[in-house]
Structure 1
Amino acid sequence: MSWNIFSRLTSPKKAPPVISKEEEKEFEREVHKIEVLDEATKKLYKDMKHCIEAMGALSKTQCRIGQNLAASPVLNTEESLKSLEQINKSISQIESRTQELNANSVRMMIEPMKKFSTIFPSLYIALKKREQCLQEYSRCQGKLEKYQDRERTGPNLAKLESCKKNLEAAKEEYDRQHKELMEAMPSFFEGRVEYFQPCFEALIKSQVTYYTECFKIYVDLAVQLEDKDTLQSDEDFEMDLHRRLCEIRALSIVVDD
């Protein structure tokens, strides 16, 4: 199990164990589940951020390509410019839908994950406090055993009685901390499903709406371009492109490699 996040306290002399191995293993299993959940939440948050950034960058790049083509001599015939105008209009509509999707993604996933992640630091503080209580419990147990082995003199008996009280108080505090965590950690872990399920459902619905609307925009664009006989099969497109490139290469101003 990974315990480095708690920075376990150590002493020069190893204290005797005060809890069973079964209890410690059960506790560490719950801690491990929390650690895995924390790491998974961080990765999901990072991936969602990258997805939103990539969607926005792609949309802006498409808009710039259309603008650059309109301002360049690559397409300067009246018919080509009209087709390009229709394409740019469709790209602009898709950019608007993309911005809406990204805003929904932030609201439905990014913000809920940020709020969910704020719980982990408090939980780790509670875990470390429980660890400190366990160390104090163990220290008191060791001190009691030391005085139990000493001569039964008045001062030693007084110290022995004091050690018993300290041990009882340390045990009560440890038991309280341990019980609270063993109730809180499983509840927190199981609560992740109920918390994130609506987020995922809302995100999926938003994506379905986005891609459905984009499909409709492209279908409408294809119909408009098809009326001008600009659509070709992949094979015809490749053949036509190759023919035109050969004609350009045949010009006297073009030097063969």
Structure 2
Amino acid sequence: MSKAAVKISLDLLRNPMCEQDQIFLESITALDTAMHRMDSVNQEKIMKYQRTVTEPLKKYSSVFASLNMAVKKRDQALQDYKCLQSKVERFEEKYKEKTGPNIVKLYQVREELQPAREEFEAREKQLLKEMPRLYQSRILYFQPIHEALIRTQVVYFTEMNRIFSELSDQIDQERLTDEQRERENEARLGELRALSIVASD
């Protein structure tokens, strides 16, 4: 919007009416200066938003990639554990005879199960411990971002108020009220409508 306002003020400055009327030229020049100041303040606001809102939110969202990876690893560990557990159950069913080779095979399969269980339990324990901490920390993380957003808005709109108050003081030499301006504009429009070259409705 500020870029469009700057373009409008530049277009008005290039208008031939500015060459013909010094008061109009001064008014448009004041507008152009204010629009450039507004654009500068707007660019500064955007940079502050980047630093205090957008970048911290991107950093926060990067946490979820790690979290998703941890959940996937936990799910994979659970699948590995369940797979080996069902393998042990099949072997127990298959090798009910307590012969030497059967006992060795069953022992080997059970040995594979132990590390899989430990890995799953470690990953499960880590998630159960850290996910509540992540969930609880979200407010503490977002609070300063929210405050920065509000402070940036306050600074921006305070500066905009100052810029446009100064502009109003520069161009409003007559100090007319809105109603007086409306009556003045209607009177001038009436004069234009009274011209013979203007078609009547």
TM-score past 0.5 threshold = yes
Aligned residues: 198
- Larger helix proportion, structure 1 or 2? 2
Amino acid at match of 1:241: N
Partner of 2:85: 141
Q: For 2:186 and 2:168, how far apart are their aligned partners in 1?
A: 24
Aligned twin of 1:63: 6
Tell me which residue corresponds to 1:241. Answer: 185
- Deviation, structure 1 residue 225: 2.6
Instruction: Decide which of 181, 192, 208 is 2:154's aligned counterpart.
Output: 208
Question: Structure 1, unaligned stretches of length 5 or more?
Answer: 1-57
- Runs of 5+ consecutive residues of structure 2 not aligned to the other structure: none
Alpha-carbon separation, structure 2, partners of 1:120 and 1:79: 60
RMSD: 2.1
Q: Could you say which structure has the larger radius of gyration?
A: 2
The answer to whether residue 64 in structure 2 is matched with residue 117 in structure 1 is no
**Aligned equivalents of 1:126 and 1:133: distance in 2?**
10
Say if 2:41 and 2:156, in contact at 8 Å, map to a contact too. Answer: yes
Structure 1 residue 196, shift from structure 2 partner: 2.9
Residue 189 of structure 1 aligns with which residue? 135
C-alpha distance in 2, partners of 1:159/1:248?
A: 105
Instruction: Tell me which moved more, 151-160 or 105-114.
Output: 151-160
User: What is the Cα deviation at residue 185 of structure 1?
Assistant: 1.7
Distance 1:146 1:81 in 2: 93
Is 2:110 the partner of 1:164?
yes
Q: How much does 1:256 deviate?
A: 4.2
How far apart are residue 132 of structure 1 and its match? 0.7
Alpha-carbon distance, 1:156 to partner: 3.1
- Contact in 1 for aligned 2:81/2:120 (Cα 8 Å): yes
Amino acid at match of 2:57: M
TM-score using structure 1 length: 0.69
Question: How far off is 1:174 after superposition?
Answer: 0.2
Alpha-carbon deviations, 1:16-35, whole Å to 9, x = none? Answer: xxxxxxxxxxxxxxxxxxxx
Shift of 1:74: 5.4
Distance in 2, Cα, partners of 1:233 & 1:161:
96
